Amino acid sequence: MSDTKRIWVLIEQEEGKAHPVSWELLGAAQRLAAELPGAVVEGVLLGDGVEGIAAEAYRYGATKVYLIDDPVLNVYRNAPYAYGIANLVKKYMPEIFLVGATTLGRDLASAIATRVATGLTADCTELAIDPDKHILAATRPTFGGNLMATILCKTQRPQMATVRPRVLPSPTPAETGAGELVREPLGMTEADVAVKLLKVIPTDSGEQVDIEYADVIVAGGRGLGAPEGFKLLEELAELLGGVVGASRAVVDAGWINVSRQIGQTGKTVRPKLFIAAGISGAIQHRVGITGSDFILAINSDPNAPIFSVADYGIVGDLYEVLPELINQIKAQRAGHGAAEVAHA
């Protein structure tokens, strides 16, 4: 038996473009490998004409990429992807297998784990090697973020985990990288696949926001009082080169598209600046924003839980505060503002 312990990362791609969570996971895999003697970091890549992505994976630290390249894999569908990867797992028996907790990754990872009858921990926020047992300790929020649980998979292999985009930092890629490409066949034809993609209705271009990877987010909650309040947030976000986000309450109320939702059931974000306006900050929301570098909270209720995670809080009416914020930033940009004085 070989002592090599393979730590696998799914290199998720759609339309030939790798999802950045793949690189975040390669970064995590390298940190795990440092704690696990004999460990190697390898990528798994499936698609149709996607070989070029392997070179990117090497730059992010994969020493080897297992590739299944087949026309059946042109668009993501659960059955052929899960079938192909489960066969790879059975053949190479990785010790650990990390997958992004994206729509695609969650759908796929549970099917793989079921096919190979192993344990899968969803939506982890922290990965470590247990120093005594030398196994993966995967920590995740549960009960709506009220409790953290560290999950172990004692005997079955691989130990699988999904991790949400932006929970882990993005590593800096090496300028060049080389690795070994291992090609494997899919062993399935289009006739074997029951689900056919007829078309994709793209999200409205106005709603196509990459909120998870935004540097500045101006987010609104119920305190806005009405959907029109988002206009003010848009103005501020535009001024800062950022995007507008939202709490679950206002998404559920239909004030804004679900693509903007931040929190346990929405997206995890880690912007440089997060401005929360009229968001009370239930635990389910807070777990999605704690990776932000700086949180500025504005709320009229001094007891709002959002203040417990804010780096700076303003207790006041957001309809008073935000216009003033916009004015002062504009004045500063114009080169003669009160803000400049305060800064000096």
Shortest approach of another protein to residue 58 CB, angstroms? 25
Structure tokens at 97: 């297998």
When asked if residue 23 is in the footprint of another protein (CB under 8 A), the reply is no
When asked if residue 198 is in the footprint of another protein (CB under 8 A), the reply is yes
Residue with smaller CB distance to another protein, 40 or 331: 331
Whether the upstream peptide bond of residue 80 has omega within 30° of 0, thus cis, is: no
Using the rule CB under 8 A, which residue among 264, 278, 279, 285 binds another protein?
Answer: 264
When asked if residue 284 is in the footprint of another protein (CB under 8 A), the reply is yes
Shortest approach of another protein to residue 175 CB, angstroms? 27
When asked if residue 74 is in the footprint of another protein (CB under 8 A), the reply is no
When asked if residue 315 is in the footprint of another protein (CB under 8 A), the reply is yes
User: Any residues with CB less than 8 A from the CB of 162 and at least 6 apart, and which?
Assistant: 98, 99, 100, 101, 105, 106, 109, 120, 121, 122, 123, 124
CA distance 78 to 83: 8
Using the rule CB under 8 A, which residue among 51, 293, 330, 336 binds another protein?
Answer: 293
3-state secondary structure of 256: coil
For residue 309, the tally of other CB atoms under 10 A from its CB is 19
Shortest approach of another protein to residue 64 CB, angstroms? 26
Q: Which one of 33-41, 45-53, 65-73, 305-313 is the stretch in contact with another protein (CB under 8 A)? A: 305-313
CA distance 231 to 326: 12
Shortest approach of another protein to residue 127 CB, angstroms? 13
When asked if residue 37 is in the footprint of another protein (CB under 8 A), the reply is no
Residue with smaller CB distance to another protein, 171 or 316: 316
Shortest approach of another protein to residue 174 CB, angstroms? 26
Using the rule CB under 8 A, which residue among 1, 195, 226, 334 binds another protein?
Answer: 195
Structure tokens at 331: 């004045």
Measure CA 111 to chain center.
20
Residue 163's nearest CA partner among 29, 322, 297, 334 is 29
Residue 159 contacts residue 95 (beta carbons within 8 Å): yes
Scan residues 102-161 and list those touching another protein (CB under 8 A). Answer: 102-104, 106-107, 109-111, 113-115, 117-123, 130, 137, 141-156
Shortest approach of another protein to residue 3 CB, angstroms? 23
How do 5-10 and 39-47 pair as beta strands?
parallel
